[in-house]
Structure formats: C-alpha cells, structure tokens
Amino acid sequence: MRTLPFARLILAAGAAALVAACGTTAADGEAAPPSAIVGRAAAAVRDVTIPSGTLLHLTLNTSVASDTSQVEDAVAAELTNAVMVDGRTALPSGALVAGVVRAVDNSGRVKGRARLALDFTSVTSGGRRYAMSAEHFSRQASATKSDDATKIGIGAGAGALIGGLLGGKKGAAEGAAVGGGAGTGLVLATRGEEVRFPSGTDVSIQLAAPLTVRVSR
C-alpha cells in the first residue's frame, strides 16, 4: 500500500512531460497569421498608373468587316509593344486586349459609305483583368463619287455615239440621255467599298482615362 503514492508521483511526472512536449511542438509548428502572409504578398507588387492619352499599339486576333460583323460582336487583340511608365513595364508585349464592335454600316447604293468602329474595354496582364476606357478605333470607306461620275459619263458618251450613227444630232441627244440613264443604273446596282480588317491587322488606340495596373516590384 505504501507504493501507491510513489506510483502516482511517477504518473504525474510523465503527464507533465507529455504536456510540455506537445506545447513545444505546437509552438514550433505554428503557422504565420494571415495578416503576415497578406503583407508579404502586398510588398511584392505595386500599383502603376498609365496616363490618359497613352497610345496602345495592337494586333487584331479577330477578323472584322463592315459587311459581316454585327454590333456587340467580340473582338480580341494583343499588345504589339510593351507600355512603359517611369522605366518600368506596366503592360508587357502580348497582353490580351478585349473589346466589341461598337458601330457598323455596310456600303449603300449611291449614298452612304461603309463604316466600322471598335471599342476596346479591357486588358489582361499578370493574370489580372483591368477595365479600361479608350477612344474608339473607327474607319470609313473611301468615297466613290469620281468613279460614279466616270460610269455615268461613259454611259452617256456611248449612247450619244450610237444615237448619232442612227439619227444625227437628234439621235445623239436622245442616245446620250438613254446612255446616261444606263450608267446611273450601273451605279445604283453596285455597292461601294467595304471596311475590312483581317486578323493580324495593326491598329492603335488612345486611352481616354488613366489605367492603373499592378506590377511586380
């Protein structure tokens, strides 16, 4: 019976040693608090602002055309040159730029020229996507008035020649009127030029507002 207190003493000492060992292990393996992890991540990057008016040079990855594209069709492009701010790369070459077809008109008959406008709204760099505001990139087909006048003139001249052979001056006048009408009909039946940009076309846009991005320190 006298050995019982001694046994209890041994058990108590063992339990104390076990608790101390567990406490040491927990302290040694304790994870860093979330705030410390966030702080280290924030220290690795910094914000850089690209000023308004900066030119972005792009290469289209999507083909667009005034006679095939529709408003709100998606348009993809990529930066052909890196954008630098204070000697640092704010946007690398190859950064993806996304947008939409903002306006489109195909060529009309006699009146109206084809027009195409693109609106680029975001850029992706370093795994982050940034909304951006840029001036629209737009183009309008060249006018065809001189060609139209030539077509009408040829029709009138040919009609006058034929009319003159058949009926003198009166026939020439009537033939000119008929020939001119035929030339006008040709213009009415022919559409003007379209605006087309195949994939690989180089375009440039200008930032309409500052763009802030995150870059590595």
Distance CA 39, CA 33 (A): 10
Q: What is the pLDDT of residues 175-184, one digit of tens each?
A: 555 454 554 4
Q: What is the pLDDT of residue 215?
A: 93
Distance CA 59, CA 76 (A): 9
Token duo for residue 56: 């972005």
Q: Are 43 and 169 in contact (CB under 8 A)?
A: no
Q: CB under 8 Å to 38, separation ≥6 — which residues?
A: none
Q: What is the pLDDT of residue 42?
A: 52
pTM for this predicted structure: 0.61
Determine the distance from the C-alpha atom of residue 192 to the mean position of all C-alpha atoms in its chain, rounded to a whole number.
Answer: 27
Those residues of the chain that have pLDDT short of 70 are 1-43, 109-111, 144-191
Residue 94: helix, strand or coil by DSSP? coil
Q: What is the pLDDT of residue 186?
A: 43
Token duo for residue 181: 């009408």
* Strand partners of residue 197: 64
| E strand segments, 51-185 | 55-60, 64-65, 74-79, 83-85, 88-91, 96-105, 115-125, 128-131, 137-140
Q: How many other C-beta atoms lie within 10 A of the C-beta of residue 15? A: 10
Per-residue burial over 67-89, b = 16 or more CB atoms within 10 Å of its CB, e = otherwise: eebeeeeebebbbeeebeeeeee
- Residue found by looking up tokens 């440039």 in the block: 204
Q: What is the pLDDT of residue 47?
A: 95
Distance CA 192, CA 181 (A): 19
Q: How many other C-beta atoms lie within 10 A of the C-beta of residue 156? A: 19
Closest by Cα among 5, 194, 13 to 108: 194
